[in-house]
Amino acid sequence: MASPSSPPVVTRGLTKRFRGGQVAVDAVDLEVPAGSVFGFLGPNGSGKTTTIRMMLGLISPTAGSVELLGESMPKAQLRVLPRVGALVEGPAFYPFWTGQANLLRFDAADRTADPRTRKARAGQALERVGLSNAANKKVRAYSLGMRQRLAIAVALMQRRELLVLDEPTNGLDPQGTREVRHLIQELASDGTTIFTSTHLLAEVEQVCTHAAVMSRGRLVRQSTVAELRSELRPRLVVRTPDVGQAAETLKSLGVTDLKTTAETVEGDAGELPIDKFAAALVAADVRIHGFGLERPSLEDAFVALTGEGFDVAE
């Protein structure tokens, strides 16, 4: 068993090449600190789910290794996975069974799960995700959001040391998303390490302590969220119809990394005294509609890292 401070997830050179040669995951080195809420980011098709499948032993890596809770996967999966709650690529259930019956089935598959407490634990898990009233309804009649909650309930049937949640808020309405966020925060405060893939950056900013960004199968960044955010330097943004003139003036004042659109000019003002810039722009006959510093969002950082927007299709 790993000591409490050793990282619950470590991958080394993790690579998956599918038949046909397509490299879905390319030499990924992840290290998820104990007790963290780790946001695993990336556009669709960037290799997040494939990485998660390898972490959980569902598919075998072409190269590289995975350590889960200090033990080597997939060799130790029967020992390790009972301590890991997982939700992989959307909810999957027996539609002809009730939500509760589905929970009992997956719990019975874990031979370390106590049959005597099974029903009570299922009841609690359903309550935690707000499905108590639908416990005896067939899953066929569940909405996507309800199925998503049920999938989270599967992961909550036991007390886990690590939760691996692949897009946990997929299909949920804003209220449901908020509830899942609270649930994650609550579980994290109990000391559970949470590894969650997502494409919602707002989620990362609100709940995650750490983040990693995948792009085209490669890990392009891994750090604390605070660090990521601090690197995002505020940018000077001028809204004006006279973009050409404004850009020239700002350039002469020493602003670097200038970018212009039809109505804005923005750039990196560094430590320059920007309070003098407005006057300089006015003196250069630039009409100013707006002027100020803007802190880029995590989304901007993401686009800068991956070179693409978030909801890019495969």
Partner 1 sequence: MSPSELSPSELSPSELSQVRPSAGRHTLALFKSELHLVFGRARTWVLLAVLAAVPVMIGVAIRLSGSEGDAEGFLGQVAGNGLFLIVASLAISLPFFLPTAVTVVSGESLAGESSLGTFRNLLTAPAGRSRLLAAKMVALAVFCLAATMVIWLSGLIAGVALFPVGDVLLLSGTTVSLADGLVRALGIAVLIALSMLGLAGIGLFVSSLTSTPLAAMAATFGAFIVSGILGAIPQIDVIHPWLLIYGWPSFADLLRDPPYWDAIGRNLLLQGAYLAVFYAAAWARITSRDING
Binding site for partner 1 (CB under 8 A): 53, 56-60, 77-79, 81-82, 84, 86, 88-90, 92-97, 101, 104-115, 117, 120-121, 123-124, 127-130, 154, 158-159, 179, 182-183, 186, 190
Closest distance of CB 90 from partner 1, Å: 7
Beta carbon nearer to partner 1, 44 or 252: 44
Q: Count other Cβ atoms within 10 Å, centred on residue 82.
A: 15
Beta carbon nearer to partner 1, 92 or 237: 92
Closest distance of CB 238 from partner 1, Å: 46
Closest distance of CB 154 from partner 1, Å: 6
Beta carbon nearer to partner 1, 3 or 261: 3
Beta carbon nearer to partner 1, 3 or 96: 96
Task: Answer for the pair 198, 207: CB distance below 8 angstroms, yes or no.
Answer: no
Beta carbon nearer to partner 1, 1 or 304: 1
Closest distance of CB 85 from partner 1, Å: 9
Closest distance of CB 215 from partner 1, Å: 21
Distance of CA 173 to the CA centre of its chain: 18
Closest distance of CB 87 from partner 1, Å: 9
Closest distance of CB 275 from partner 1, Å: 47
Cβ neighbours of residue 292 closer than 8 Å, sequence gap 6 or more: 236, 237
Backbone φ/ψ region at 25: left (φ over 0), alpha (ψ -120 to 50), beta: beta
Beta carbon nearer to partner 1, 45 or 296: 45
Closest distance of CB 309 from partner 1, Å: 26
Beta carbon nearer to partner 1, 29 or 110: 110
The residues facing 213 across adjacent strands are: 41, 221
Of 2, 70, 5, 71, nearest in space to 35 by CA: 5
Beta carbon nearer to partner 1, 106 or 277: 106
Rounded CA-CA distance 8/153 in Å is: 21
Rounded CA-CA distance 139/102 in Å is: 8
Rounded CA-CA distance 129/191 in Å is: 19
